[in-house]
Amino acid sequence: MGCLVAAQERIFTLGDPVTAAAQVRVSQQHGSKRLLTSHLSRRSRRPAAGWRNCFHLLIFWIVPFWGTCQPTTWSTTDINAMRTSIRLLNIILMIAASLLQVQTGQAEELSRGAMLSASCEGCHGTYGRSPGAIPSIAGKSAEYLRDALEGFRSGDRQATVMGRHVKGYSEEEIRLISEYFSKQQ
Amino acid sequence: MNRITRRNFVVSVGALSAATSVLGWPALGQARATGGRVVVIGGGFGGATCAKYLRRLSTDIEVTLVERDSKFVTCPFSNAVLGGLYDMDFITHDYKALRDDYGVKVVHDSAVDIDPDAKKVRLAGGSSLQYDRLVVSPGIDLRWDAIEGYDEAASKTMPHAWKAGEQTTILRKQLEAMSDGGVVIIAPPPNPFRCPPGPYERASLIAHYLKNNKPRSKILIFDAKPKFSKQPLFEQGWQELYPGMIEWISESDGGAIDGVDVKAMAVKPTFGDPQQGDVINVIPPQKAGMIADVAGLTNDSGWCPIDQRTFESRVQKHVHVIGDAAIATPMPKSGFAASSQGKVCAMAIVASLSGQDMPEPSYVNTCYSLVGPDYGISVAAVYRLGDDGIAVVEGAGGVSPKGANTGFRLAESRFAEGWYQSITADIWG
């Protein structure tokens, strides 16, 4: 049981449901494209849906059926088997959570891609969503962004300032930046 | 361990399922504890960016932003207000989004002292704030002792307008009240100072206003320097748009001033005769904002030495200094550079508080100047950390091409406005 209780506690402490709910509420009220909150809630809602179905399948179908196959009273062996399966469940949850890349305490990744991309956000807007004349780059495909940046570098693509900027980044860095903004909306 | 019944087990699993459904499967595995209290002093380009990006990176960190004013008026585009292209509302921003959307605690008060041992910031209102990490982003203060006769009282008559707000309005009203044929004097300081191309953009946009409203007027720039930022581009633009209207007097030609006479409305060059003006804009030499000085974060230069990777003060541990107040050479003292530093600093702090490695820093500067409403020029630079601190990436950056056509200048003027809208939204939006 220890593992499960611990897992539940971690959900409540790390998940900070009050803040999460408040953020979703704020984002709904404002409906603004520039909100971190809408970004967060979208991030946690969208990829979660498919996975949540998987977990519901696991919890409502596999686990109960697994339970009915067991004897009505629990022996030490059963309890040990149960502990193992609970640990297994925990591991599955953790792997799934890391796949979802939903971090509540750490809202966004602290990565090299994020560091490099922060440089772009000054002109192209937070998450690459520009409110003015400078093109938005959020959600453009990574291939498109990489091609555009490489085009600025070679001079094949006309630019005012981008040709001067792009020469400050390596091919690998351009790949990281392109991937970062392709994941934004 | 209590005896586990099948019922208990199913109930537990059900509860887990319910809880996770509500929360949308938050991370169980890799989220690290990043809690901590960060106090940010100053809600300008550096401080407000840092506060926002701290909260973007970690909602576990409690971020308190200490800012004297409830509204922030930006220096960028204040020259466009002086030229009559925009009104004050366009360059005025508030802290609502930081507070409501990002969960930054905004305290409208002034920091009067820092106790680095107790890790406390004392506020003018009497309260204190405890911190684990402190970010100081106080911008600049003006050296009132640098030019004889030019003190805070004198700045009501001869505005500096180098901190936007009331000073911008005073200068704008003086320009509006001036009669045709008047002389406007702009006196920029020696390096280093806030916004290197700023005085010359100012001359340009005042010239735009005068050309259309008081075409017989003149602008004299009494400069303490032998050359200035984007000089060939500005001079080319002045020639094209305002021929004969702007005269730049270099330091070697007697441009440096060491005194003013407020009553006589004149500046006193280091050599040569005093020059009278109808509107006089004195931009005095500068130093790091007062709190940096009071807290002993400055060196003899008046600016704050820092570790250029994390922006942590070389003087005080767990205190970071960003923006104009910091010695971040070769980055200029610009709003954009301050914002870039705010982001790097936020990443350094989150990494430190959560025991993670900080990604290798990447810094950037992009500054547009308007020579006219349809005539923009820019300077860009990309920076990385070298062996001796921040270094320009060779081969990248630079200024707009000198011989560019009107279409290029027009495009850059539109991008200048887009730049302003983006960066202010990235900071206060």
Q: Tell me which residue range forms the domain holding B257.
A: 154-284
B273 and B184 within one domain: yes
Would you say residue B372 lies in a domain?
A: no
* B118 pLDDT higher than 50: yes
Would you say residue B275 lies in a domain?
A: yes
Residue B253 has a pLDDT of: 95
Residue A80 pLDDT grade (very low, low, confident, very high; cuts 50, 70, 90): confident
Q: Which residues of chain A make contact with B395, given a CB cutoff of 8 A?
A: 167-168
B196 and B217 within one domain: yes
B19:A11 CB<8 A: yes
Q: Which of B358, B389, B421 is the last residue of a domain?
A: B358
B127 and B47 within one domain: yes
Would you say residue B404 lies in a domain?
A: no
What is the average pLDDT across B234-242?
Answer: 98
Name the residue with higher pLDDT: B86 or A29: B86
Residue A87 has a pLDDT of: 72
Ranking A94-103, A115-124, A126-135 by mean pLDDT, the lowest is: A94-103
Name the residue with higher pLDDT: B385 or A39: B385
CA distance B206 to chain A (A): 24
* A16 pLDDT higher than 70: no
As a whole-number percent, the residues of chain B with pLDDT over 70 amount to 92
Would you say residue B88 lies in a domain?
A: yes
Name the residue with higher pLDDT: A75 or B56: B56
Residue B224, domain CATH: 3.50.50.60
Which strands make up the sheet holding B275-276, listed edge to edge? B257-261, B266-269, B275-276
B396:A56 CB<8 A: no
B176 and B262 within one domain: yes
Would you say residue B128 lies in a domain?
A: yes
Nearest Cα to Cα of residue B231 among B400, B406, B417: B400
In this structure, CATH architecture of domain A112-182:
Orthogonal Bundle (1.10)
Nearest Cα to Cα of residue B428 among B93, B59, B38: B93
Q: Which residues of chain B make contact with A168, given a CB cutoff of 8 A?
A: 364, 381-382, 393, 395-397
B122 and B72 within one domain: yes
Ranking A41-50, B43-52, B133-142 by mean pLDDT, the lowest is: A41-50
Indicate where chain A has its CATH 1.10.760.10 domain(s): 112-182
A110:B393 CB<8 A: no
ipTM over the 0.85 cut-off? yes
Model confidence over B309-333: pLDDT tens digits? 999 999 999 999 999 999 999 999 9
Scanning A139-158 for CB atoms below 8 A from B yields none
* pTM confidence score: 0.80
Model confidence over B275-304: pLDDT tens digits? 999 999 999 999 999 999 999 999 999 999
B188 and B136 within one domain: no
B268 and B164 within one domain: yes
B315 and B270 within one domain: no
Q: Which of B303, B326, B358 is the last residue of a domain?
A: B358
* A107 pLDDT higher than 50: yes
Query: H helices within B165-322, ranges in order?
Result: 166-177, 198-213, 231-241, 290-294
B166 and B231 within one domain: yes
What is the average pLDDT across A143-156?
Answer: 97
Axis-axis angle for helices B6-23, A76-100 (nearest 10): 10
* A176 pLDDT higher than 80: yes
Residue A9 has a pLDDT of: 32
Nearest Cα to Cα of residue A149 among A131, A130, A163: A163
B360:A72 CB<8 A: no
What is the average pLDDT across B85-104?
Answer: 98
In a 3-state reduction of DSSP, which class is residue B37? strand
* A8 pLDDT higher than 80: no
B264 and B171 within one domain: yes
Nearest Cα to Cα of residue B50 among B325, B427, B429: B427
Q: Which of B259, B284, B309 is the last residue of a domain?
A: B284
Task: For residue B63, give the amino acid letter.
Answer: V
Name the residue with higher pLDDT: A96 or B364: B364
Residue A93 has a pLDDT of: 61
Would you say residue B237 lies in a domain?
A: yes
Residue B151 has a pLDDT of: 98
Domain total of chain B: 2
